[in-house]
Amino acid sequence: MPSLVVVAVLVAVWQWAVTAFDVRPQVLPSPLRVVEQGWLFRDALWTNTVPTLQVTAVGFAVSLVVAWALAVVVDFSPWLRRALLPLLVASQTIPIIAIAPLLIIWFGFGLLPKVVVIALVTFFPVAIGLVEGFSSADREASNLVRSMGADRWGEFRYLRLPAAMPSFFTSLRIGITYAVTGAVFAEYVGARAGLGIFMNLQKNSFRTDLVLAAVVVTAAISVGLFGLTFLVQRLAMPWYAAERRRA
């Protein structure tokens, strides 16, 4: 894969630069040192990875439920569509960086504030993906299913819902990567455990190498979950890949 080659080259240049210019590890540790120290502290990294995964899963699940409920409601009611879609867009202008510490004040160090942050950053792309997916159904196809006797619910079930699936999976991929970043960010602001708070603590003790080791873990989680969506998509809509290959 070409992207692996690019990563390898960048890491090599990084390693060379750190050695050649004798950079202090507190400023920029070499990649080798990041791996070494990360492996040395693997227990600490793992115990902090588990809560991050949990928070991501719960937060994204909540986000999916909210996004689906909203998108379906909006699809059935043109009035609610006009009423809610601008609010959705407005919700994305909330600066999470300012709200996240307040959420800690309001809801404490538990699961809830993190779930709220993740839901806030991820429900929007998923909801919009669904709303536009439902609307992507062919108008003439709507006429066809109506001529077959379908009511609005039948039109949704037989046409609009399946037609939305490609768009849904695209937005799912965007959402899931945001979810991991959102979880780390929410933990960074305040948590008992998790990769975010781990990074914060290591930064405060100038362990740049361990911060970067946690970053590597975060990236690996994101890529893994991203890949997982393709797998789920394959299972959920086997026709799609085959049709795309043909086209």
Q: Which residues bind another protein (CB under 8 A)?
A: 138, 140-141, 143-150, 154, 158-159, 162-163, 165, 237, 239-240, 242-243, 246-247
- The Cα 62–Cα 46 span in angstroms is 24
Instruction: Name the residue nearer to another protein (CB basis): 25 or 162.
Output: 162
Instruction: Name the residue nearer to another protein (CB basis): 65 or 241.
Output: 241
Instruction: Name the residue nearer to another protein (CB basis): 110 or 154.
Output: 154
- The Cα 239–Cα 236 span in angstroms is 9
Q: DSSP characters for 120-145?
A: HHHHHHHHHHHHHHHHTS-HHHHHHH
Instruction: Name the residue nearer to another protein (CB basis): 145 or 210.
Output: 145
- The Cα 39–Cα 36 span in angstroms is 5
- The Cα 217–Cα 24 span in angstroms is 23
Nearest distance, CB of residue 234 and another protein, angstroms: 14
Q: Residue 178: name the closest of 112, 116, 119 by CA.
A: 119
Nearest distance, CB of residue 68 and another protein, angstroms: 18
Evaluate whether 222 touches 181 at the Cβ level (below 8 Å).
yes
Instruction: Name the residue nearer to another protein (CB basis): 159 or 199.
Output: 159
- The Cα 218–Cα 203 span in angstroms is 16
Nearest distance, CB of residue 237 and another protein, angstroms: 6
Nearest distance, CB of residue 64 and another protein, angstroms: 21
Nearest distance, CB of residue 151 and another protein, angstroms: 9
Report residue 232 as tokens: 């789920």
